[in-house]
Amino acid sequence: MTRYHFSLGNSTEGPIGFCAVVDGASRTEATAKLKRALRNISGPSGDLGVSDPNRNVEYLNVYFNPTVIGLSDIDGAEPQGTQ
């Protein structure tokens, strides 16, 4: 087994980024394990949590940078009725 560190996104320049450490026999296996764990990312109370019953994901940290979120990040809108 090898421990692989993933770094995705960049919360210094963008609105979100994350890093994770995953154990695997190869890069391909570690990537597949991280993808599997992320499929069920919301917990019962709506919080974020990685679902990994085999404990292959040691940690996953998500970083947010709300100061860089802007109007251009909106990709759609739907009216919700009249007020």
Instruction: State the DSSP string of 5-40.
Output: EEEEE-TTTSSEEEEEEEEESSHHHHHHHHHHHHTT
Specify the pLDDT at position 74: 84
SS3 66: helix
* 72: in domain: no
- For residue 45, give its domain range: 2-67
* 27: in domain: yes
* 45: in domain: yes
Specify the pLDDT at position 28: 93
* 19: in domain: yes
pLDDT tens-place string over residues 23-79: 899 999 999 888 887 775 655 544 455 656 666 777 778 888 889 888 888 888 888
Angle value at C-alpha 15, between 14 and 16, nearest 5 degrees:
95
Domain count, the chain: 1
* 83: in domain: no
